[in-house]
């Protein structure tokens, strides 16, 4: 039996010796050190949603070129060869001496054709409408970028809170281990019962379990940060900023009225809605302009004949005036539709202005409340630490059991969590205020 166990240990050692060099040959990639400002910058410029918004803007710009094409020259070339015969009587030719079947004969024709719109008020208005759509798409891209920046900021703050909770759980484990040693010393000295050691060890095990949960939450928060930035979820990320009082920061005005005025000028979602209304009004003008005359120039030049050597040059040039009269009232229906779209956009824009003011006021209230709670939480944490120190002194002096110490330890744990939550709430309130003001992309 002993030789068999030694053989197992030898195989295990060989396996570990073989596996170690393999692991050494494929080292893990270094973690991506990411600050809060860098996360916001990456998200506002490189997030998948921002890239898609940029592609939609390119699509709108392509539609401008498409609309402008109606005003630019059109050039084409056509060449053909024909061999045919035909019934002259079917064409109304019944003269004496004219055969019934004429042909077969061959014809050649090669021709360049060019056309140019001289004046088309409707196409001009469509170009302006397409440009308004580009402005709206650009503003929508800005709104998407703002949302991506705010989303990345919140994801980073959640990761920072998870990191703070891991630090707190480590501190709890250290305190629990220290109290286990103290309870054991008291038991050895004969001034404490064995139940005190058991209680202390129970707290140590609970702290170890809470630390595992906190580490798992931190790993999941890092995955959320990677997804917010459009990175591979397996990318190792190291959060370099903590939930400090200065995180995050943005150049927000001091007074509520100034913040609302800034938001009305900078919020890209409001700019996008105004651009949509302008595009609808311009589209209505383009539809109404279809009633106006349109002037076109068309010309062609080419050679034609029975054989290539006998072909002669021919040309044609003309100006055409088109005056729409009636199209079954389809234009009127399309114009009414665009008018309704424009009025709908006006209603949304007015509601959005009120929503912006409400967002600013709500964010200011949340920030003030969170900052006040942060002060209270910090004081509570200080008092909980003093309570644990005093309870430990009483337990060491033998004038109290460790129930008092365990209660103080639980109070300190809750105070640490409350302090972390208060700092997180204050940070998220500052993010909400920056987004309400249209400054999420400037967070740092």
> Looking at the domain assignment, is residue 27 inside a domain?
no
> Looking at the domain assignment, is residue 137 inside a domain?
yes
Confidence of residue 28 (pLDDT cuts 50, 70, 90): low
What pLDDT is attached to residue 400?
Answer: 72
Domain membership of residue 373 as a residue range: 35-73+124-290+331-442
What pLDDT is attached to residue 6?
Answer: 41
Q: What is the pTM of this model?
A: 0.82
How far is residue 187's CA from residue 184's CA, in Å, rounded to a whole number?
5
> Looking at the domain assignment, is residue 115 inside a domain?
no
User: Does 4 score more than 70 pLDDT?
Assistant: no
Element (H, E) at 368: helix 330-397
> Looking at the domain assignment, is residue 247 inside a domain?
yes
> Looking at the domain assignment, is residue 418 inside a domain?
yes
Q: pLDDT tens-digit profile of 190-216? A: 777 888 788 888 888 888 898 999 999
What pLDDT is attached to residue 8?
Answer: 40
User: Does 43 score more than 60 pLDDT?
Assistant: yes
Domain count, the chain: 1
User: Does 419 score more than 60 pLDDT?
Assistant: yes
> Looking at the domain assignment, is residue 112 inside a domain?
no
Higher per-residue pLDDT: 414 or 183 = 414
Pick from 165, 226, 200: nearest CA to 401: 200
Q: What does pLDDT average to over the chain?
A: 85
Confidence of residue 77 (pLDDT cuts 50, 70, 90): very high
The CATH number covering residue 170 comes to: 1.20.1600.10
CB 164 within 8 A of CB 420: yes
The region of weakest confidence among 10-14, 251-255, 319-323, 401-405 is: 10-14
Element (H, E) at 103: strand 101-119
User: Does 300 score more than 50 pLDDT?
Assistant: yes
CB 297 within 8 A of CB 118: yes
DSSP for 159-209, written as a single string: HHHHHHHHHHHHHHHHHHHHHHHHHHHHHHTTSS-HHHHHHHHHHHHHHHH
What pLDDT is attached to residue 1?
Answer: 42
Alpha carbon 395 to its chain's center: 56
> Looking at the domain assignment, is residue 379 inside a domain?
yes
How far is residue 127's CA from residue 118's CA, in Å, rounded to a whole number?
15
Residue 399 pairs in a beta bridge with none
What pLDDT is attached to residue 330?
Answer: 85
What pLDDT is attached to residue 254?
Answer: 87
User: Does 10 score more than 60 pLDDT?
Assistant: no
Q: pLDDT tens-digit profile of 113-126? A: 999 988 888 888 88
What six digits make up the tokens of 91? 């064409």
Q: pLDDT tens-digit profile of 381-407? A: 999 989 888 988 888 877 777 788 888
> Looking at the domain assignment, is residue 222 inside a domain?
yes
């Amino acid at each position: 039996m002993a030789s068999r166990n030694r053989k197992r240990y030898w195989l295990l050692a060989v396996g570990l010796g073989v596996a170690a060099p393999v692991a050494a040959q494929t080292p893990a990639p270094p973690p991506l050190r990411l600050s809060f400002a860098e996360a916001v910058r990456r998200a506002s410029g490189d997030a998948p949603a921002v890239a898609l918004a940029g592609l939609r803007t390119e699509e709108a710009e392509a539609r401008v070129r498409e609309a402008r094409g109606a005003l630019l020259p059109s050039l084409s070339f056509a060449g053909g060869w024909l061999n045919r015969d035909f019934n002259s009587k079917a064409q109304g030719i019944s003269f004496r001496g004219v055969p019934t079947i004429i042909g077969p004969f061959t014809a050649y024709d090669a021709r360049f054709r060019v056309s140019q719109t001289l004046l088309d008020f409707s196409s001009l208005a469509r170009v302006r409408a397409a440009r308004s759509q580009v402005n709206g798409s650009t503003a929508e891209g800005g709104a998407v970028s703002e949302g991506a920046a705010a989303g990345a900021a919140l994801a980073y703050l959640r990761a920072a809170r998870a990191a703070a909770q891991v630090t707190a759980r480590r501190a709890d484990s250290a305190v629990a281990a220290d109290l286990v040693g103290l309870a054991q010393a008291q038991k050895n000295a004969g001034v404490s019962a064995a139940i005190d050691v058991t209680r202390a060890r129970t707290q140590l095990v609970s702290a170890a379990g809470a630390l595992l949960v906190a580490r798992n939450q931190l790993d999941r928060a890092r995955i959320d940060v990677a997804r917010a930035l459009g990175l591979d979820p397996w990318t190792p990320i190291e959060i370099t900023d903590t939930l400090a009082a200065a995180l995050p920061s943005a150049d927000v005005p001091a007074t509520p009225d100034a913040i609302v005025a800034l938001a009305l000028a900078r919020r890209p979602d409001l700019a996008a809605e105004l651009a949509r209304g302008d595009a609808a009004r311009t589209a209505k003008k383009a539809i109404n302009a279809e009633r106006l005359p349109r002037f076109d120039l068309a010309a062609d030049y080419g050679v034609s004949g029975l054989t290539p050597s006998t072909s002669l040059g021919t040309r044609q040039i003309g100006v055409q005036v088109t005056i729409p009269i009636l199209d079954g009232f389809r234009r009127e229906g399309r114009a009414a539709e665009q008018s309704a779209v424009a009025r709908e956009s006006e209603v949304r824009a007015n509601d959005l202005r009120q929503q912006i003011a409400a967002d600013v006021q709500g964010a200011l209230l949340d920030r003030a409340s969170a900052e006040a709670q942060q002060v209270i939480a910090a004081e509570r944490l200080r008092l909980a630490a003093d309570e644990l120190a005093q309870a430990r002194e009483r337990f060491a002096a033998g004038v109290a059991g460790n129930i008092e110490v365990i209660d103080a330890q639980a109070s300190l744990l809750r105070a640490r969590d409350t302090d972390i939550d208060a700092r997180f709430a204050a940070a998220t309130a500052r993010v909400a205020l920056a987004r309400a003001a249209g400054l999420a992309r400037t967070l740092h």
